[in-house]
Amino acid sequence: DAKTTQPNSMESNEEEPVHLPCNHSTISGTDYIHWYRQLPSQGPEYVIHGLTSNVNNRMASLAIAEDRKSSTLILHRATLRDAAVYYCILKPNFGNEKLTFGTGTRLTIIP
């Protein structure tokens, strides 16, 4: 499986935007970029995914570099409830059903 690299931790002030980076220089053409987050004492939760174009949903935006070797998860206005570990995961569209988690980025929100 292609590997992703994320910072171990980040801090952000409440009500400000947060940009969580992910490097994936060995991404293949069929790999989708998925983001999940894990709030304290809960199972992971799907956030967003994309292939080439930038994506938006009610939770976040995903900005994908033109060469697809990196991506950024954007939380437009962080709240205390966004404090979690965020995982960037590469997953082929077919043929590999499991999610391969790294250690993710622990996001702390400062009130």
Partner 1 sequence: DTGVSQNPRHKITKRGQNVTFRCDPISEHNRLYWYRQTLGQGPEFLTYFQNEAQLEKSRLLSDRFSAERPKGSFSTLEIQRTEQGDSAMYLCASSFGPLVDTQYFGPGTRLTVL
> How near is the Cβ of 37 to partner 1 at its closest, in Å?
11
Q: CA 89, CA 110: separation in Å to the nearest integer?
A: 26
**Nearest to partner 1 of 13, 30 (CB atom):** 30
Q: CA 90, CA 18: separation in Å to the nearest integer?
A: 21
Q: Does 59 bind partner 1 (CB under 8 A)?
A: no
Instruction: Choose, by CB under 8 A, the member of 40, 67, 81, 103 that binds partner 1.
Output: 103
> How near is the Cβ of 73 to partner 1 at its closest, in Å?
16
Q: Does 45 bind partner 1 (CB under 8 A)?
A: yes
Q: Does 35 bind partner 1 (CB under 8 A)?
A: no
Q: CA 57, CA 67: separation in Å to the nearest integer?
A: 22
Instruction: Choose, by CB under 8 A, the member of 28, 46, 51, 69 that binds partner 1.
Output: 46
Q: CA 79, CA 13: separation in Å to the nearest integer?
A: 8
Q: CA 100, CA 8: separation in Å to the nearest integer?
A: 17
